[in-house]
Structure 1
């Protein structure tokens, strides 16, 4: 954090609003998104009992199932970026300086990448192609930690409570930025 706080750009300090945004992102990023993926993943297993059965019969699928949860839940709804150069994406011209909105749920269900992308499948062969952690220079710094936390929770949870399932409709967090659940009642 001190490296960021003391970074100079073109000889000057970073503006306070940029630092504030960065530090806020550092504090909440891995907390909210991981928590939302955990509850969303449990909901996915509840809504798809045959997929939960696959995990119970073959625990080696848990790492792949973790990627599928990240893809299917897609905790971050969107993010905005600014184009740094002129480009063209699928016939759409984008000029340097244009503001671009990335809809992660759309990308993570893209039928050109994920066959039956709307379905939750713990054995999906290309689940790792999800963009839940972003990509390239914007890849989440905590991606490995987040993946590990989700994987371990479901390894242990399913060992101890193989019949866990929700017993009521989830209460969703009202947000245009994060897809989350504030309450998920379960039976173990």
Structure 2
């Protein structure tokens, strides 16, 4: 018999219900929609300083070079690099067991919501309110960080000219301090 899905709080059970650690999900499907690597580096340094626990880096194979770059700049044993090394079911299980996910607007934020895992999502304006942030009436443990511009809802047809390696301004204008303020109170207790 099919059970109705409760939109007020759907969740998938994990093999281990103890939510531990922080996972940073790199990537956004399009590099222009991803927060800058240097910002992630600085954020991870702040997280390590507060938690003294390794950060799990997760993401698809296209982010392997970025993950290695970050891993090489972090203190020894500060990173557990899972980028390009998980299947989708293993990723879902990993996120379900994680205390906090930090990510761009991508599948990881939706998986975290479905697994009842806290998340901080850096979101731009292209699909704003279509997929994220979630409507107020939907229970979730997700904090969305954005810097709303007049050009939001552009369907990622950005009106600004940016260099190929630069993110769209709606992502690039989100500063580290704003993401850190959203992250700090959600960090899992060691």
Q: Which has the higher contact order (CA 8 A, sep 6+)?
A: 2
Same fold at TM > 0.5: no
Which structure has more helix as a fraction of its residues? 1
Give TM-score, length-normalised by structure 2: 0.24
